[in-house]
């Protein structure tokens, strides 16, 4: 199976500070991956690279089998297959529906069925009937769902989530976890950052543990699934072993 991402000899620096230094990662399509580690470990930086929104200072990224070219005309095709939802996503001060349509327009994806795509995405995240609600008047959990619906309306192959449940209540967090499992079962690749190791186990995700921009190589089979109740339908996979620099 061809990896959806292959990273080789990646370095990302901010001034004199090394944010990432990773020798090798291969991520397979249709899986859930959790990026874990303390603040400043490099999780968000890695997500930015995977979203093709930032480029490394050194190294090679392959997406869907092809080497990523960093000229705009080369990036557009790949970026349309990937979308990133931030921890505190920005919503326009308009209706929920207009937020979704604006997202489609930015990706040049508005078609005759644009409205139906938006409504289908709202249904997927459990917000039927919310299309005329003001986006910024919603609860934190609802706003996060709108941001996710905006991402899903683009029909991405890869969904990147930066701490998706960090700022929402427990009920919304449980809903998100179940939805992540459902999307993965439909064939979507999902990569999320999380401080919650229990969440990674519940999702049955493969774990990429970062420390000071480097991948740790001490991952062990996820037999701790027995201690935690996984989300219904999760696979409780063993974490991948990654090569450390």
Domains in the chain with CATH codes: 1-81+157-245 (3.40.50.300), 91-155 (no CATH)
Q: 14-71 pLDDT, tens per residue?
A: 999 999 999 999 999 999 999 999 999 999 999 999 999 999 999 999 999 999 988 8
Q: Is the pLDDT of residue 245 over 90?
A: no
Contact 127, 96 (CB under 8 A): yes
The reported pLDDT for the residue numbered 244 is 42
Q: Is the pLDDT of residue 237 over 50?
A: no
Q: Mean pLDDT throughout 214-226?
A: 53
Antiparallel, parallel or unpaired: β 214-215 and 58-63? unpaired
Contact 11, 58 (CB under 8 A): yes
DSSP letter for 219, please: -
Which tokens hold the place of 142?
A: 């609802």
Q: Mean pLDDT throughout 217-230?
A: 41
Which tokens hold the place of 59?
A: 């190294």
Specify the 3-state DSSP secondary structure of 123.
helix
Would the CA dihedral through 26, 228, 40, 241 be positive or negative? negative
Contact 82, 50 (CB under 8 A): yes
Contact 59, 85 (CB under 8 A): no
What percent of the chain stands above pLDDT 90?
Answer: 62
Quick one: pLDDT band at residue 103, thresholds 50, 70, 90?
confident
Average pLDDT along the chain = 85
- Full-model pTM: 0.85
Measured CA distances, 107 to 40, 46, 112 (Å): 30, 22, 15
The reported pLDDT for the residue numbered 206 is 93
Which tokens hold the place of 61?
A: 């990224």
The reported pLDDT for the residue numbered 169 is 84
What percent of the chain stands above pLDDT 70?
Answer: 85
H-only helix segments in the chain: 43-50, 72-79, 96-106, 114-124, 140-152, 170-185, 197-203
Q: Give 38: exposed, middle or buried? Use CB within 10 Å, 0-12, 13-18, 19+.
A: exposed
């Amino acid at each position: 199976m061809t990896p959806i991402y292959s990273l080789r000899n990646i370095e990302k620096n901010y001034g004199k500070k090394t944010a990432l230094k990773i020798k090798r990662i291969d991520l397979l399509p249709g899986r859930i991956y959790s990026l874990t580690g303390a603040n400043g470990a490099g999780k968000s930086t890695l997500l930015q690279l995977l979203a093709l929104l930032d480029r490394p200072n050194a190294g090679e990224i392959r997406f869907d089998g092809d080497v990523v070219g960093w000229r705009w005309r080369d990036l557009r095709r790949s970026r349309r297959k990937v979308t990133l939802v931030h921890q505190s996503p920005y919503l326009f001060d308009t209706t929920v529906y207009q937020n979704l349509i604006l997202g489609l327009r930015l990706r040049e994806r508005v078609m005759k069925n644009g409205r139906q795509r938006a409504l289908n995405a709202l249904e997927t995240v459990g917000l039927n009937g919310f299309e005329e609600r003001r986006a910024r008047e919603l609860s934190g959990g609802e706003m996060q769902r709108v941001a996710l619906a905006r991402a899903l309306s683009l029909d991405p192959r890869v969904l990147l989530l930066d701490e998706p449940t960090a700022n929402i209540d427990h009920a919304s967090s449980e809903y998100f976890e179940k939805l992540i499992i459902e999307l993965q079962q439909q064939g979507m690749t999902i990569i999320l950052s999380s401080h919650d190791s229990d969440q990674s186990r519940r999702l049955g995700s493969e774990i990429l543990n970062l420390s000071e921009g480097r991948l740790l190589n001490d991952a062990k089979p996820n037999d701790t699934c027995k201690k935690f109740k996984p989300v219904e339908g999760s696979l409780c996979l063993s974490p991948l072993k990654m090569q450390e620099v």
